[in-house]
Structure 1
Amino acid sequence: MQPTQPVWIVDGTRTPFGKFGGSLRELSVIDMAKQTLESLLARTRWRTDGIDELIVGMAMIEGGLMVPARQLAYAAGLPETLPTLTIDRACCSGMAAVGLGVRAIGAGARSALAIGAESMSQTPRLLHETRWGSKRGDLTVEDLLMLRNPLEGGVSIARSVGVEAQARGIGREEQDNWALQSHERYFKALAEGYFQDEVSAVATPNGIVEVDEQPRADTSIEKLSRLTPVYGGPTVTAGNAPGLNDGAVALMLAGEQALSDHAATPLAKVHSYLQTASTPTSSVYLPGVAIGRLIEEAGLSAADVSVIEINEAFAATAVVSTKALAGGDFALERELASRTNVNGGAVALGHPTGASGARLVLTAARQLRRSGGRWAVAAICGGFGQTDAVLIEAAQ
């Protein structure tokens, strides 16, 4: 989908990403998203009466939280006349919120808020039999955070990813090397002050949280190689996969008139947005396929894109996707890998499922401006064989 009028990424911000059961665990997802949204409105000085839609992407929805987007709008003091929408497209949810905001502006909206949020620490276990009672016998408790694929008979997603990666020539060593690189790049970017303008502090009952909790400065290839694969899979470990995380991201999208009315200098322009799907276990390579489609439809080649963000749902996802995008050209594959997740990815900083897609868009736009390039692309897999991707152009 290419918008019929220019759609601008005005600005964005995110919370620090918290560990599972870490410093953000006492915050409801509404409170966490509210603080992030308020930070964005304060830094943009955007008039709330000029916002036409609030779209919130969330994967777990805290096991039954009703209409989170509407609750967020009220919590943040937005006009009660503002239409809201909550969407669940699994890990793609935050990027799908951006895509729907782009569509809305293309159809005439002035500006839209796109939010991605997740509190995996507050995701409950489910006790299904209690609604109508159970005369005798054990009750079964389901843990949504086991992340199984119901389209594949409940097989662990981590196991399927490892199998698919191996089938495409990517083994444990490549995945561990990418995981180490993710941490190294994150800490380099942190030392250079890259995240100062991206992260907004969050107030919790136990104090202020200002930094991402998951990145491990002491990560080494020796430590990674000693870890045992999880869920009976061949390659995926706790070290080359992200954790279960908490976090929220807020982005302001605007059309030409709203941008002019607010005298705002945007981060970047959205060129096009794509959703695609394939087999239930295709997620490990599908971001590369989606990026290839986007840039081909824009008349570009992979070499034209200076910034690439691919969600590290697993390290394997980024490795296999860059390989797929290169189409068998080994030299190009290495070049693309050097441009992918240059400030670290989810293996290092975390993957709050509903928030990560929006985080990728924000990171890609900010890095594009930082690098001085013209084109950036972000892609994320999720939802048992689906992918969202966004092609971004530098603000002229």
Structure 2
Amino acid sequence: MGCQAPGLLNRTSVPRDVVDYIVYGTVIQEVKTSNVAREVGHMHLISAKSMKLSWELSRPAGVGMIAAGQCDVVVAGGVELMSDVPIRHSRKMRKTMLTLNRAKTLGQKLSLISKIRPDYFTPELPAVAEFSTSETMGHSADRLAAAFAVSRLEQDEYALRSHTLAKKAQDGGLLLDVVPFKVPGKETVTKDNGIRPSSIEQMGKLKPAFVKPFGTVTAANSSFLICRPAWAPVPEMIICQGHDVHGEPVTYHPRIIINFGIELSRRTDGASAILLMSEEKALAMGYKPKAYLRDFVYVSQDPKDQLLLGPTYATPKVLEKAGLTMADIDVFEFHEAFAGQILANLKAMDSDWFAQNYMGRKSKVGAPPLEKFNTWGGSLSLGHPFGATGCRLVITAAHRLKKEGGQYGLVAACAAGGQGHAMIVELYPQ
């Protein structure tokens, strides 16, 4: 977060005093920086008139503010500091410490201290299980893979594909969007450092990570949270269109421009930033548009058995809103939480039975062809700092459209709580 925001403005040559609003999101919050967007503004001396707030829906929030005519320039992004997550004292210790703080006499304090037991010092790690189901996402991914008959071998093969394609993209100069970041006491991070093509044989030696001993989800076919790479997109833009309350396609006025921002990380850490502008403002400042956001949707489904099926539910809805079909999409960028999750979604999307019995639809939307799907790697190989991944998906989709000469890109992701998101990105006419 300390480098990507100024990196974004420096790369785009945008004066800091023209930024009207900053919107940032994060998942694992640090109490000291509960409003990370405000800290970005203070840290980098962005104009005091800019308002800041933390919001997980940072990009749509920024788009909405420009579409409503309230702002011309918005910085939207996300951040995650997973190498130093807040670890609390146990509930027993917290209660004792709060009571101790209210004790007035030495006798009262000593009495409370004498009641402290060794187990009070057991730390309380951040909750990783779903609040509504008490099940971790890894366990859910394992059950989902089993439900859709996705084998361990299929998952390992897909994970290897992600790393192999990411390595190919990196070697081909396609993943150069990196803001160099000096890790205190270590070397400067200059490129994605989590790309590690292995072999099916090596991956097959790993034991199940969640459901033991017969589970199929392992550390190798899950998005890694141990070593997070870095990104920093080039300064180009997206314009946003949408629909009115009746579902009719409209162009927002002022239209929205996104200027691709910065993403960086240290180990499991990551931050992202995107510059959004009204079209009039962007053209007045001399920017060359790259693509525009045509539409986006959010969905929710059963968090117990369909926790990770957000893309399956969101994809047909965003296509319908945009008046498109799967055949119109040239680039697919889906968040890879787990290889099993991706493969289960592809099977669900290609199933008439699932569409009819679970989604209330007459027919399937169809699975994306793999030759168009995450061809520069994905979260399995590039990592997944929760608050920053969404920007990478949008950025990569737009870069691929320009590189491959496509017109439409579809971005989709699952999320905790049984939620999902999908977005249409369209190449700006050159």
**TM-score normalised by the chain length of structure 1:** 0.84
For 2:380 and 2:79, locate their aligned partners in 1 and report how far apart those are by CA, in whole Å.
18
Unaligned runs of 5+ in 1: 1-32, 88-92
Q: Does the 8 Å CA contact 2:295/2:424 hold for their aligned counterparts?
A: yes
Shift of 1:345: 0.6
Structure 2 residue runs without a partner (length 5+): 98-114, 226-267, 353-362
C-alpha distance in structure 1 between counterparts of 2:343 and 2:50, whole Å:
41
Q: Which piece of structure 1 moves more, 67-76 or 45-54?
A: 45-54
Question: Deviation of residue 232 (structure 1)?
Answer: 2.1
Find the aligned partners of 1:62 and 1:120 in 2 and give their Cα distance: 11
Structure 1 stretch displaced more, 291-300 or 129-138: 129-138
C-alpha separation in 2, matches of 1:192 and 1:332: 31
State the alpha-carbon separation in 2 of the partners of residues 253 and 182 from structure 1. Answer: 30
What amino acid does structure 1 have at the position aligned with 2:277? A
Q: 2:207 aligns with which of 212, 225, 228?
A: 228
* 1:270 aligns with one of 288, 293, 306: 293
Pairwise CA distance, 1:313: 1.0
Range with bigger deviation, 122-131 or 245-254? 122-131
Q: Tell me whether 1:132 sits opposite 2:88 in the alignment.
A: no
Structure-2 separation of matches of 1:326 and 1:64: 46
2:324 match: secondary structure: coil
Offset at 1:201?
1.2
Q: Check if 1:110 corresponds to 2:78.
A: no
Correspondence for 2:341? 317
Q: Could you tell me which residue of structure 1 aligns to residue 12 of structure 2?
A: 44
The 3-state SS of whatever aligns with 1:132 is helix
1: CA distance, partners of 2:116 / 2:182: 46
Residue in structure 2 matching 1:74, options 36, 42, 46: 42
Of residues 78, 84, 97, the one that matches 2:52 is 84
The residue that corresponds to 2:161 in the other structure is 181
Conserved? CA contact 2:406–2:427, under 8 Å: yes
- The Cα shift of 1:287 comes to 1.2
Compute the displacement of 1:132 (Å). 2.8
Shift of 1:330: 11
Deviation for aligned residue 1:80: 1.6
Find the aligned partners of 1:314 and 1:51 in 2 and give their Cα distance: 37
* 2:154 aligned with 1:148: no
SS of the aligned residue for 2:307 comes to helix
Q: Does 1:395 align with 2:375?
A: no
Quote the offset at 1:394 in angstroms.
0.7
Whole-Å separation in 1 of the counterparts to 2:10 and 2:346: 37
Tell me which amino acid in the other structure corresponds to 1:283: L
* CA spacing shift, 1:41–1:265, aligned 2, 3 Å: same
Q: Which moved more, 1:279-288 or 1:365-374?
A: 279-288
User: Taking structure 1 as reference, are residues 112 and 211 closer, same or farther at Cα in structure 2, changes over 3 Å only?
Assistant: same
Paired residue for 1:355? 388
Aligned partners of 1:304 and 1:226: how far apart in 2? 41
Aligned to 1:170: 150
Rg (Cα) greater in structure: 2
Indicate which of 202, 215, 218 corresponds to 1:237: 218
The offset of 1:177, in angstroms, is 1.1
Alignment counterpart, residue 367 of structure 1, candidates 383, 386, 400: 400
Q: Secondary structure at the residue paired with 2:132?
A: helix
CA contact (8 A) 2:16 2:45 kept: no
- 1:215 matched to 2:215? The reply is no
Identity of aligned residues (%): 30
1:204 to 180, 183, 196: 183
Letter in 2 for 1:141: P
CA distance in structure 2 between the aligned counterparts of 1:326 and 1:296, rounded to whole angstroms: 17
Q: Report the 3-state secondary structure (helix = DSSP H, G, I; strand = E; otherwise coil) of the residue aligned with 1:294.
A: helix
Q: Is the 8 A contact 1:114 1:251 kept in 2?
A: yes
- When normalised by structure 2's length, the TM-score is 0.77
Paired with 1:189 and 1:61, the residues of 2 have a C-alpha distance of 33
CA RMSD, aligned part only? Answer: 2.0
Matched, 1:248 2:271: yes
Q: Distance in 2 between matches of 1:376 and 1:285?
A: 19
Secondary structure of 1:284's partner? coil
CA drift of 1:331 comes to 12
C-alpha distance in 1, partners of 2:422/2:364?
A: 23
Deviations 1:146-199 (A, max 9, x none): 62222112x221011110121123222221111000000000001110011x22
Higher relative contact order (CA 8 A, sep 6+): 1
Q: Is the partner of 1:309 in helix, strand or coil?
A: strand
**SS across alignment from 1:347:** helix
Give the partner amino acid of 1:62: E
Deviation at 1:49, TM superposition (A): 2.6
Q: Distance in 1 between matches of 2:391 and 2:378?
A: 13
Query: Secondary structure, in 3 states, of the residue corresponding to 2:202?
Result: helix
Counterpart-to-counterpart distance in 2, 1:294 and 1:338: 21
